[in-house]
Amino acid sequence: MSNPRPIVIACPTVIEEMQPLLPAGFKTRVLDFGLHVNPDRLRTTLQRAIDEAAKEADTIILGYGLCANAVVGLVPSNSTLVIPRVDDCIAIFLGSTAAYREQSQKVPGTYYLTKGWIEVGDTPFEEHKRLVDKYGKQRADRMIALMLKNYTRLAYIDTGQADQKGYRRYARRTAEQFNLRYEEISGSRALVRKMIHGPWDDDFIVVRPGQTVELTDFSIACP
Amino acid sequence: MKTPKRPISESLSDLNEKETIAAVEERLELGDDPIRIMDQCQEGIIEVGRRYESGEYFISALIMAGEIMRQISEILLPVLKKEITGKASGRILLATVQRDIHFIGKNIFKVLLQCTGYTVQDAGEDVPPEKILEATLAFSPDVIGLSCLLSSCYDSMRDTVAILKEGTRDLETIPRIIIGGRVNEKVNQYVGADGWADDAMIGLRLCHKLIRR
């Protein structure tokens, strides 16, 4: 082992933001986005990926937050695990938990989109298309209207990626179609940059070999 | 006796709203036991959950299933009320905590509670702690069920539990507080609630246990 270069294990939406900043030769492992649906399965898959990565690297960076407790209980057996101290990837895209809190306090009913989310197809627009194919337009409209009942805003997070024009257009069109107020909000690469290059300060949970990730590890981000 | 085209559990798990509602009405007219109809609906809901976890269904399917269940409960409740007199009784207040707007799990839980004989008040979603306390003092529930899907709202849930415990400690009957949604024992300890459930049926059994005292 004894490899000074960390390995990144991330979800597709987070890796999208990390890729432009990753130095050459950085190994990455991207897990299926659909795993989020079942936090227990995500935890098992993450643990397996961590055990695999530990054979090659001393340090593993997780491109995940608390993610519905999916990371609670993970144990890096013989490597150090670095996890951003955030609830989920929205805080990663916005640059901090504080920025995420500010947004969710301002408008709790916000549907967030980024380039990465649009690419994995996790949008109401794509879901509507799937539903139309399966059930016809009338039922699809009703299902999406129910799903978005408490949402008032669609926020496209500008994470500083190159060439976002098409994604912005897509997000705006989605907002119009589902009667949501469209807004673009500025993201930040600060946390993503620190994930890759450090320092792994209070914004991160650094789990030493043999230690277990606990829910309370995340509570400092939520004073 | 006319046989329905296919089981209610199947039309519900296929999310066919019209077919399911029509089948429920038809079965009632034919004199079928409403509790048996409800059991079949629950089978359908379990299948929806299974399809969601396997990736076949998306979030909207869960919400649609919850909506169909809401309509079924409106049809079955008046009939069930006659059947459930003398069975489970108690008052339960439900709310999704502040800054969380999700409702599907809470609504399915509500239907289950109502169909089992509980009197339920739903304070809605994104409800500030003070409002939940206000509703508690007005409604006098035996159990308060707080729902939360977002881990970013665990603190909101913890604040709510603290305010409720402080605000109800002098009451003759202190309501028990349970949490539901994306929660587990660790979250339960973190927020200081009296119990947790990540499944509507588990929540129902928890209410039976807590209210039986």
The 10 Å Cβ neighbour count of residue A111 is 20
The 10 Å Cβ neighbour count of residue A168 is 16
What residues in A contact B149, CB-CB < 8 Å? 68
Q: Is the ipTM of this complex over 0.90?
A: no
pLDDT by residue (tens digit) across B155-168?
A: 999 999 999 999 99
Give, for A193, the enclosing helix (H) or strand (E). helix A190-197
DSSP-assigned letters across all residues of B144-200: EEEEE--GGGHHHHHHHHHHHHHHHTTSSSPPEEEEEES--HHHHHHHT-SEEESSH
B67 close to A (CB below 8 A) = yes
pLDDT tens sequence for chain B (213 residues): 555 478 999 999 999 999 999 999 999 999 998 888 988 998 898 899 888 878 888 888 888 898 899 899 889 888 877 666 555 579 999 999 999 998 888 988 998 898 888 999 999 999 999 999 999 999 999 999 999 988 888 999 999 999 999 999 999 889 999 999 989 998 999 999 999 998 888 999 999 999 974
In whole angstroms, how far apart are CA A45 and each of A32, A70, B54? 10, 10, 15
Token pair in block for residue B212: 């039986």
| pLDDT score recorded for residue B86 | 52
The fold of the B91-212 domain, in CATH, is Rossmann fold (3.40.50)
The ranges assigned to domains in chain B are 8-83, 91-212
A-interface mutation test, from B14, B51, B60, most A Cβ less than 10 A away: B60
Kindly report the nearest CA distance between residue B155 and chain A, in angstroms: 7
Whether the Cβ atoms of residue A101 and residue B152 lie closer than 8 Å to each other: yes
> Is B60 in Cβ contact with A135 (below 8 Å)?
no
Nearest CA in chain B to A73: B186
B89 close to A (CB below 8 A) = no
Report how far residue A61's alpha carbon sits from residue A63's, in angstroms, rounded to the nearest whole number.
6
Residue B127 has phi, psi (to 5 degrees) of -100, 125
| pLDDT score recorded for residue B19 | 94
Cβ under 8 Å to A: B residues 112-151: 125-126, 149-151
| pLDDT score recorded for residue B36 | 87
pLDDT by residue (tens digit) across A99-123?
A: 999 999 999 999 999 999 999 887 8
Token pair in block for residue A143: 């299902």
| pLDDT score recorded for residue A159 | 93
CATH of domain B8-83: 1.10.1240.10
Residue A69 has phi, psi (to 5 degrees) of 70, 10
What residues in A contact B186, CB-CB < 8 Å? 69, 72, 214-215
Q: Which segments of chain A have a pLDDT < 50?
A: 220-223
pLDDT by residue (tens digit) across B122-133?
A: 999 999 999 999
Strands A181-186 and A153-158: parallel
Instruction: Count CB pairs under 8 A between chains A and B.
Output: 80
Report how far residue A126's alpha carbon sits from residue A124's, in angstroms, rounded to the nearest whole number.
5
In whole angstroms, how far apart are CA A118 and each of A126, A134, A146, A169? 9, 21, 21, 11
> Is A39 in Cβ contact with B60 (below 8 Å)?
no
> Is A100 in Cβ contact with B101 (below 8 Å)?
no
| pLDDT score recorded for residue B84 | 61
Kindly report the nearest CA distance between residue B150 and chain A, in angstroms: 7
Looking at A55-122, list the stretches that DSSP marks H as alpha helix, in order from N- to C-terminal side.
Answer: 89-94, 97-106, 115-120
Report how far residue A35's alpha carbon sits from residue B55's, in angstroms, rounded to the nearest whole number.
9
> Is A67 in Cβ contact with B151 (below 8 Å)?
yes
- B166 Cβ partners below 8 Å, 6+ apart? none
> Is A101 in Cβ contact with B151 (below 8 Å)?
no
User: How many angstroms from the chain centroid is the CA of residue B165?
Assistant: 22
| pLDDT score recorded for residue A176 | 95
B60: nearest CB among A127, A150, A214: A127
Report how far residue A125's alpha carbon sits from residue A127's, in angstroms, rounded to the nearest whole number.
5
B14 close to A (CB below 8 A) = no
Kindly report the nearest CA distance between residue B177 and chain A, in angstroms: 21
Whether the Cβ atoms of residue A110 and residue A104 lie closer than 8 Å to each other: yes
Report how far residue B203's alpha carbon sits from residue B212's, in angstroms, rounded to the nearest whole number.
14
The 10 Å Cβ neighbour count of residue B137 is 12
| pLDDT score recorded for residue A220 | 45
Q: Is B91-212 the same fold as B8-83?
A: no
B-interface mutation test, from A69, A85, A213, A216, most B Cβ less than 10 A away: A69
- A217 Cβ partners below 8 Å, 6+ apart? A85, A205, A207
Nearest CA in chain A to B15: A135
